Amino acid sequence: MHKSAVAAVAALSLFISDAHAQDAAIDEIVVTADLRGRTLVEIPASIAVINRSTVEDAAVQHFEELSFLVPNLNFAGGSNRARYFQLRGIGERSQYEGAPNPSVGFILDDIDFSGIGGIATTWDIERVEVLRGPQATRYGANALAGLVFVQSVAPTPEFDARAQVTSGDDGLASAALAFGGPVNDTLGYRVALQQFQSNGFRDNPFLGRDDTNERDELTLRTRLRWDLSNETRVDTTLLFVDQDNGYDAFTLENDFTTFSDDPGRDAQRSVGLGIRADHAPSAAWSFTSITGIAQSDVEFSFDADWGNPDYWIPFFAAPGSTPFTPEYDFFSRRDRERDTINQEFRLQSGPDGRLFDDTTDWLAGVYALRLTEDLTVFDSGVFSDGTFPGDPFAASSDSSYESLKLAVFGQLDIATGERTDLSLGLRVERRTADYEDDFGLSLDPSETAVGGHISLTHAINDAATGYVSLARGYKMGGFNLGTVPDGRREFDAEYLWNLETGLRWQHERGSLSLAVFYAERRDQQVSTSFQLVPNDPSTFVFFQDNAASGKNLGAELESRWQLDAHWSAYANVGLLDVTFDDFVTPEVDLSGREQAHAPRYSVAAGLVWERPEGWFARLDVQGRDEFFFSNSHDEKSDAYTLVHARAGYRTGQWQFSAWGRNLTDEDYGVRGFFFGNEPPNFDDTLYLRLGDPRQVGVSIDWRY
C-alpha cells in the first residue's frame, strides 16, 4: 500500500499545478521562530509551518500526529507519547543515560522542553514551526538537527471563546475550553484548558484491563499580553501539563494484547513560565528579552519481562519434565526531576539603524541555559528455570547532573543588490557540567563549540525567491554510564556541515517550497545498545560512540494550493539518503549502512472541501518508507500508509464533525528492539511497538 501513497502524492502534485483559484487566496506566512520574524519566502532555510486551521481541522490531540505532515521528520515510539524526534535522520531514539544532550530542540511558548517534548498537546495551538538543519544562530537555543517551535494562541483584541467535547472508541473522552480577550486598553488574557482520556489501544487479559497503556492528559495554559506603551510589549505564558499515562506497549507477539503483571507508567508533570519582552524605543534599534523557567517530574517505568507467572510456565515446561513453578519477573523504573532556566537577550537594528550606507541589518545576542536533573534508577527481578534457584534482587541508584550553557551570537544581513541579500551568522558557546552518582563516578566536562552560517538569497521575481546556504552546527560531547570498556567513558562533540539550496514560490492561489541539502557529520555521535545479561532484560544498555563520519543527502518539497472557492489541497514529500561512511566498534560494523530511523521517503497529501452552506470534509494520506530501527542490528520497519478523514457541518456558533484516523487499520512499527526476552534460550527476536490502530469518533465545537 505504501507505493500507492507515493503515487497519490505525485498525481495530486500534477493535478494541482494546473489548478486555478477562484474567490480564495493563500495567506502569506510569517515565521515567528526566526530572529527577525520574516516571511517564509525571505528565510534561507528549510522550514515547515503548520497553521492553526490545519491543527484544528486535522482532528489531532498531540504533536506526534502532526509530525506526519512534516517531510523528513520521524519519531521513535519508545514511550506512550512521542518524545524522541529525528530530523533528516538525526536525533535520539530512546531515554538517555547521563547528560541530557538532544539533537532536536523543542520549544513551547519560549520555554525549553528539549528532550521531554512529549507534553506537546495541540489544544488551542496557533502554529507549529519545524526548522530543519543546524540552528546555531536562527534561534537562541542551539540545535544540531533542527528545532520544533510550538506557539499557543495569544490574547485577542476582542473577547473570543471556544469549547469542544469529543468522544470515540478506545474509551476516548475529551473536554476542552479556551477563552480570552481584553481586560482593559493595555492588558489582554487567554486561558486554555483540556482534559483528555483514552485507554491506549491495549488489552491485558491477565489483569482483566484494557487501560494499562492509558492516556490521561491535563493541559492548562494562561497567557497575558501587556502593551505597556507604543514601544513596549510583554507576553507571559504560564503552563501546567499533567500526563499520567500508562506504559504497557510491547508484547511478545507484536500485537495489541499484553500479558504483563506489573504495567509501568510514562508520566510527566511540567510547570513552565515564559516571559517575552519586546522594546523598540526608536526606529534605529529594538531589544528583546526571552525568559523560560520549567520544572518537570518524569516517570518512565515498565514490566521488563512483559509477562506474568502463568504466561511463562509453557516456555519452561518440557515433555516428561517434573512440574515446577518458574520464576521470571523483572521491573524497571526511571524517575527524573528536571529544572531549567533559559534566558536570552538580543539587540537588533531597525529601519534607521542599518550600517554601511543603509545596506546592513545587524543583530547581537547572548543566551544562557541552566539545567539540573536528579535521576533515580530502580531495577528488580528474579530468574529461575528449575535447574538452579534464582535469587531475587533489587537495586537502586541516584545521580545528579548540572550544566550551564553560555553563548554569544550575532548576525549581519547585507543587501548586496536590489534583489540579493547576504547573511552571515556566528555563534560561540561554552558548556560546563558536573555529574555524580552512587557508584562514585564524578565527571566535570567542559568544552567550547563554534557554529554559524553564510547564505545568499535572491528574489527571482515578486513571487519567487531562491537561496543557497552553508551552515555549521554542533552537538556537545558527553559520557556513558554503567559498564563501559576502557577508553570509551566519554565521547567528543559532533559537528555538522550543511550545504543547502532552495526555491520558494508564493502566489495568491498557492505556494511551493523546495529544499535540497547535503550534510557531512564529523565525529558523528552514534547510539548503539546491547544486553549485558542474556536472561535479564533490565540489563539493556545504550552506548554512545563517535563514528568517523556520515553523509546526509535529501530534499523536501511542500506545496499548498487553493483549487477554487471550495477546494484546497496540499502535497509534501521528503527524500532522504543517510549513511555511515566508516564506523567500526567491537560490537558492530556500520560502515556503508543507512542510519537508524531515517526512512528514504516521507509523504503526505490531502484535500479540503468547504461549502458556504456549512458542509466541510478533509482527507489526509500519509506514508513512510521502511527504516532501520537501531544501529545495533539490521532489523527494519515495514513501509506503511495511513489514511485519515474528517467531515461535518457548521451552523451559527456550532460545529458537528465525525472523524477517523488510520481508517485502513494499518499495522506499523514506530520502535523496534532486537534482543532475547523469551526463556529458556533467550534467542534474539525483533519486538515491535506498534503505532495507533484505527480510531473513530465525533466532536462538537462551539465558538463565541
What does the pLDDT look like over 384-398, one tens digit per residue?
Answer: 876 666 778 888 999
- Of the pLDDT bands very low, low, confident and very high (cuts 50, 70, 90), residue 14 is very low
User: Does residue 402 surpass a pLDDT of 60?
Assistant: yes
Residue 282 identity (one-letter amino acid): S
* Per-domain residue ranges of the chain: 2-332+339-703
Give the CA count within 13 Å in the CB-facing half-sphere of 105: 31
Q: Could you give the CA distance from residue 225 to residue 236 in angstroms, rounded to a whole number?
A: 7
Cell of 29: 506566512
Per-residue CA distances from 199 to 4, 65, 168, 173, 331 (Å): 32, 17, 11, 10, 22
Is 609 strand, coil or helix? strand
What does the pLDDT look like over 524-570, one tens digit per residue?
Answer: 888 766 655 665 665 666 677 777 678 899 999 999 999 999 999 99
pLDDT at residue 13, as a whole number: 46
Q: Could you give the CA distance from residue 482 to residue 346 in angstroms, rounded to a whole number?
A: 41
Mean pLDDT computed over every residue of the chain: 88
What does the pLDDT look like over 469-491, one tens digit per residue?
Answer: 999 999 888 887 766 666 778 88
pLDDT at residue 539, as a whole number: 60
Q: Which of 21-25, 353-357, 546-550 has the lowest mean pLDDT?
A: 21-25
pLDDT at residue 374, as a whole number: 94
Query: For residue 343, is it left (φ>0), alpha (ψ between -120 and 50) or beta?
Result: beta
Share of the chain above pLDDT 90, in %: 67
User: Does residue 651 surpass a pLDDT of 60?
Assistant: yes
Q: Whose grid coordinates read 509501568?
A: 264
What does the pLDDT look like over 135-159, one tens digit per residue?
Answer: 765 556 678 899 999 999 999 999 9
What does the pLDDT look like over 211-236, one tens digit per residue?
Answer: 999 999 999 999 999 999 999 999 99
pLDDT at residue 17, as a whole number: 42
Q: Which of 124-138, 195-209, 296-310 has the lowest mean pLDDT?
A: 124-138
pLDDT at residue 321, as a whole number: 54
Please state the φ and ψ torsions of residue 513, each to the nearest 5 degrees.
Answer: -135, 125
Write the CB contacts of 522 (distance below 8 Å, at least 6 apart in sequence). 494, 495, 496, 497, 549
Write the CB contacts of 604 (distance below 8 Å, at least 6 apart in sequence). 9, 68, 69, 71, 570, 571, 572, 620, 621, 622, 623
Per-residue CA distances from 594 to 341, 583, 636 (Å): 37, 12, 11
Contact present, 189 and 165 (Cβ < 8 Å): no
Write the CB contacts of 363 (distance below 8 Å, at least 6 apart in sequence). 35, 36, 346, 347, 348, 349, 410, 411, 412, 413
Write the CB contacts of 535 (distance below 8 Å, at least 6 apart in sequence). 328, 383, 676, 679, 682
Task: Classify residue 358 by its DSSP letter.
Answer: T
Q: Which CATH class is domain 2-332+339-703?
A: mainly beta
Q: Could you give the CA distance from residue 216 to residue 247 in angstroms, rounded to a whole number?
A: 12
pLDDT at residue 669, as a whole number: 94
Residue 79 identity (one-letter amino acid): S
What does the pLDDT look like over 26-63, one tens digit per residue?
Answer: 555 666 555 556 677 778 888 999 999 999 998 899 99
Number of H helices, E strands in the chain: 4, 34
pTM over 0.75: yes
What does the pLDDT look like over 171-206, one tens digit per residue?
Answer: 999 999 999 999 999 999 999 999 999 999 999 999
More confident residue, 97 or 129: 129
CA 416 to chain centre: 37
Q: Which of 336-345, 453-462, 489-498 has the lowest mean pLDDT?
A: 489-498
Q: What mean pLDDT do residues 248-258 have?
A: 93
More confident residue, 163 or 507: 163
pLDDT at residue 34, as a whole number: 59
More confident residue, 643 or 309: 643
Share of the chain above pLDDT 70, in %: 88
What does the pLDDT look like over 96-115, one tens digit per residue?
Answer: 766 788 889 999 999 999 98
Taking Cα atoms as reference points, which of 377, 378, 376, 374 lies closest to residue 401? Answer: 374
What does the pLDDT look like over 579-637, one tens digit per residue?
Answer: 888 777 666 777 888 889 999 999 999 999 999 999 999 999 999 999 999 888 889 99
Q: Whose grid coordinates read 504495567?
A: 263
Taking Cα atoms as reference points, which of 273, 133, 25, 272 lies closest to residue 576? Answer: 133
- Of the pLDDT bands very low, low, confident and very high (cuts 50, 70, 90), residue 288 is very high
pLDDT at residue 282, as a whole number: 93
Per-residue CA distances from 228 to 157, 184, 237, 286, 289 (Å): 15, 12, 17, 15, 15
What stretch of H or E contains 46?
A: strand 46-51
pLDDT at residue 136, as a whole number: 63
Contact present, 154 and 696 (Cβ < 8 Å): no
Residue 114 identity (one-letter amino acid): S
Q: Could you give the CA distance from residue 74 to residue 247 in angstroms, rounded to a whole number?
A: 21
Please state the φ and ψ torsions of residue 626, each to the nearest 5 degrees.
Answer: -65, 155
